[in-house]
């Protein structure tokens, strides 16, 4: 089982297992969640645009590292996805309008996982996303009340500066049934400036 949970309402889901280096195949994209987008034009646009690596997901728990990539398409979509490499067929993530990459928030994130449906049966779970330049820290609230710190990387998208991130959840958490419930963005003073609910299977 492959799952993708988008934590921003305006994301369109991207799930690909047969992509080429510069395109996510249209048959693998679910575009219905993106308001005002013509599905055919949306799919065609995914074959365009330069791909840039903006963050990394470290190897761990016997799983290989992955990159976090951003792609601005010629049809006005800003897509972010994770994969072993830019040319890999295994891509998971989503798209927003290039005019509003964060969907009206200070934070847009997506959770992808493999396995399940029970949390204890998930083999790999990863969080990727973008935040505004004013975000100083991103934390993940877990179902047991603990938090996980997420490393932020500076990402320039055109002339605009963002913070990009990628995080892999530990298998020790998943085996205990502990999964993420929310992604929190904080200012330099520690104030919460954005929160998005997330979770495995719901």
Q: What percent of the chain has pLDDT over 90?
A: 59
Q: What's phi and psi for 154, nearest 5 deg?
A: -65, 135
DSSP symbols for 77-132 = EEEEEEESSTT-S-EEEEEEETT-TTTTSSEEEEEEEEE-SSGGGEEEEEEEEEEE
pLDDT at residue 153 in the model: 97
pLDDT at residue 88 in the model: 82
pLDDT at residue 38 in the model: 62
Q: Using the Cα atoms of residue 183, residue 196, residue 69 and residue 64 in order, give the sign of their dihedral.
A: positive
pLDDT at residue 87 in the model: 84
- Reference 53, options 71, 68, 35, 38; nearest CA is 68
CA gap 66, 86 in Å, rounded: 10
Residue 71 lies in domain: 2-197
Q: CA 124 → CA 23, 64, 179, distances in Å?
A: 24, 11, 11
- Reference 177, options 119, 124, 127, 122; nearest CA is 119
pLDDT at residue 84 in the model: 94
Q: Does residue 202 sit within a domain?
A: no
Residues in the chain, pLDDT under 50: 6-36
Q: Does residue 150 sit within a domain?
A: yes
Residue 122 pairs in a beta bridge with: 115
Q: Does residue 141 sit within a domain?
A: yes
CA 19, chain centre distance (Å): 17
pLDDT at residue 50 in the model: 86
Which DSSP symbol is given to 63?
B
- Per the structure, how many domains does the chain have? 1
Q: Does residue 140 sit within a domain?
A: yes
Cβ atoms within 10 Å of 133's Cβ, excluding its own: 12
CA gap 133, 45 in Å, rounded: 27
Query: Considering the entire predicted model, what is its pTM?
Result: 0.81
């Amino acid at each position: 089982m492959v799952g993708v949970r988008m934590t921003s309402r305006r994301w369109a889901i991207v799930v690909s297992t047969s992509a080429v280096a510069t395109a996510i195949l249209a048959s693998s994209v679910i575009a219905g969640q993106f308001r005002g987008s013509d599905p055919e034009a949306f799919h065609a646009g995914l074959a365009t645009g330069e791909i840039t690596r903006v963050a990394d997901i470290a190897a761990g728990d016997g799983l290989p590292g992955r990159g976090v990539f951003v792609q601005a398409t010629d049809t006005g979509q800003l897509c972010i996805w994770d994969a072993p490499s830019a040319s890999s067929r295994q891509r998971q993530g989503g798209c927003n309008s290039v005019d509003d990459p964060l969907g009206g928030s200070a934070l847009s994130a997506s959770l992808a996982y493999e396995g399940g449906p029970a949390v204890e049966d998930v083999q790999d779970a990863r969080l990727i996303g973008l935040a505004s330049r004013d975000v100083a820290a991103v934390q993940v609230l877990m179902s047991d009340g603990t938090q996980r710190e997420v490393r932020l990387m500076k990402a320039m998208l055109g002339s605009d500066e963002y913070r990009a991130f990628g995080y892999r959840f530990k298998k020790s958490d998943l085996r205990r049934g502990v999964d993420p419930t929310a992604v929190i963005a904080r200012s330099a003073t520690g104030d919460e400036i954005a929160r998005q609910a997330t979770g495995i299977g719901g």
